[in-house]
Structure 1
Amino acid sequence: MENKPIARTLRLLSQLMELHNENPFKVKSVANAAFKIDKLPFALASKPTSEIDKVDGVGKSIAAKVIELLETGSIGELETLLEQTPPGIVEMLAIKGIGPKKIATIWNDLKIESIGELYYACNENRLIEAKGFGLKTQEEIKKIIEFKMAADGKFLYAKAQPLILQLQESLATWLNKVEDDALLGIAGEYRRLCEIIEEAVFIIGTENTDIIATELTTYELAFAETATNCFTAQTESGLNVKLFVVPKSNFYLDYFRLTGSDNHVNKVLELAGDHLFNSEEEIYQKAGLDFILPELREDLDEIELAKQHQLPQLIDHADLKGSLHNHSDWSDGVHTLEDMALYCKDVLNLEYLGICDHSKSAFYANGLNEQRVYAQHQLINELNVKLAPFKIFKGIESDILYDGSLDYDEAVLKTFDFVVASVHSQLKMTQEKATERLIKAIENPYTTILGHPTGRLLLSRKGYDIDFKKVIDACAANSVVIEINANPLRLDLDWRWHRYALEKGVLLAINPDAHRKEGFLDMNYGILVARKGGLTAEKCLNAFSLNQISAFFESKKP
Structure 2
Amino acid sequence: MTAPIVDKATVAQVLRDISLLLQLQGENGFRSRAYDMGADRILGLTQDLGAIVSEGRLESLPGIGPALAEKISELVTTGRMTYFEDLRAKFPPGLLDLMKLPDIGPRKVAALWKELGIGSVEELEAACREGRVRELKGFGAKSEAKILEGIALFRRARGERKLLGDVLPIAEALLERVRASPGVVRASLGGSVRRRAETVSDVDIIASAAVAGPVLDALATSPGVATVLGKGDSKCSVRMEAGDLQVDLRVLPDEDFATALHHFTGSKAHHIRLRNLGHERGMKISEWGVHRDDGTKLQVNDEAALYALLDMQFVPPELREDNGEVEAARAGKLPTDLVTMDDVQGAVHAHSTWSDGRNSLEEMALAAKALGLKYLTITEHSEAAIYAGGLKVEALKRQWEEIDRVNEAVPGMRLLKGIEVDILESGALDYDDKVLEQLEVVIASIHVRHGMDEEQMTRRVLTAMDNPHLHILGHPTGRLIQSREPYPLRMEDILEHAAKRGVSVEINGKPARLDIKAEYVRKATQLGVKLVVSCDAHRREDLGNLAYAVATARRGWARKQDVLNTLPAERFLTALRAGR
Q: Same fold (TM over 0.5)?
A: yes
Query: Is 2:172 the partner of 1:165?
Result: yes
Which amino acid is 1:162 matched to?
P
Q: Which runs of 5+ in 2 are unaligned?
A: 1-21, 27-88, 94-113, 119-125, 222-226, 285-289, 292-298
Query: Is 2:375 the partner of 1:352?
Result: yes
TM-score normalized by structure 1? 0.68
Paired residues of 2:348 and 2:377 also in contact (CA < 8 A): yes
**Structure 2: how far apart are the matches of 1:425 and 1:534?**
31
Which amino acid is 2:337 matched to?
Q
Change in 2 beyond 3 A, CA 1:250/1:482:
same
Paired residues of 2:374 and 2:413 also in contact (CA < 8 A): yes
Match of 1:510 among 520, 533, 540: 533
Q: Which residue of 1 aligns with 2:198?
A: 195
- Root-mean-square deviation (Å): 4.4
Change in 2 beyond 3 A, CA 1:185/1:90:
same
Written as runs of structure 1 = structure 2, the 5 A alignment for 1:11-410 is 80-81=135-136, 84=139, 152-169=159-176, 176=182, 180=183, 185-203=188-206, 219=220, 221-224=227-230, 233-237=238-242, 238-242=244-248, 251-272=257-278, 273-274=283-284, 275-276=290-291, 277-278=299-300, 279-310=302-333, 311-344=335-368, 346-381=369-404, 383-384=406-407, 390-410=413-433
**Structure 2: how far apart are the matches of 1:159 and 1:265?**
26
Which amino acid is 2:135 matched to?
T
Identity of aligned residues (%): 30
Query: Is 2:571 the partner of 1:548?
Result: yes
Which amino acid is 2:332 matched to?
H
Which amino acid is 1:157 matched to?
L
Deviation of 1:242 (Å): 4.2
Moved more, 259-268 or 414-423: 259-268
**Structure 1: how far apart are the matches of 2:560 and 2:185?**
37
Change in 2 beyond 3 A, CA 1:547/1:80:
same
Paired residues of 1:271 and 1:286 also in contact (CA < 8 A): no
Aligned positions, number: 443
Q: Which residue of 1 aligns with 2:29?
A: none
**Residue 330 of structure 1 aligns to a residue in which SS?**
coil
Change in 2 beyond 3 A, CA 1:17/1:529:
closer
Change in 2 beyond 3 A, CA 1:334/1:183:
closer
Change in 2 beyond 3 A, CA 1:246/1:328:
closer
Paired residues of 2:134 and 2:144 also in contact (CA < 8 A): no
Query: Is 2:504 the partner of 1:481?
Result: yes
Deviation of 1:434 (Å): 2.2
Cα deviation per residue 1:471-493 (whole Å; 9 max; x = unaligned)? 11111111111101111221111
Q: Which residue of 2 aligns with 1:103?
A: none
**Residue 228 of structure 2 aligns to a residue in which SS?**
coil
Deviation of 1:294 (Å): 1.1
Deviation of 1:233 (Å): 4.6
Q: Which runs of 5+ in 1 are unaligned?
A: 1-14, 20-30, 36-61, 67-72, 92-112, 118-144
**Structure 2: how far apart are the matches of 1:255 and 1:327?**
39
Which amino acid is 1:154 matched to?
R
Q: Which residue of 1 aligns with 2:561?
A: 538
Cα deviation per residue 1:3-46 (whole Å; 9 max; x = unaligned)? xxxxxxxxxxxx99988xxxxxxxxxxx99999xxxxxxxxxxx
**Structure 1: how far apart are the matches of 2:436 and 2:255?**
63
**Residue 523 of structure 2 aligns to a residue in which SS?**
helix
Which amino acid is 1:189 matched to?
S
**Structure 2: how far apart are the matches of 1:17 and 1:381?**
42
**Structure 1: how far apart are the matches of 2:144 and 2:229?**
39
Paired residues of 1:264 and 1:297 also in contact (CA < 8 A): yes
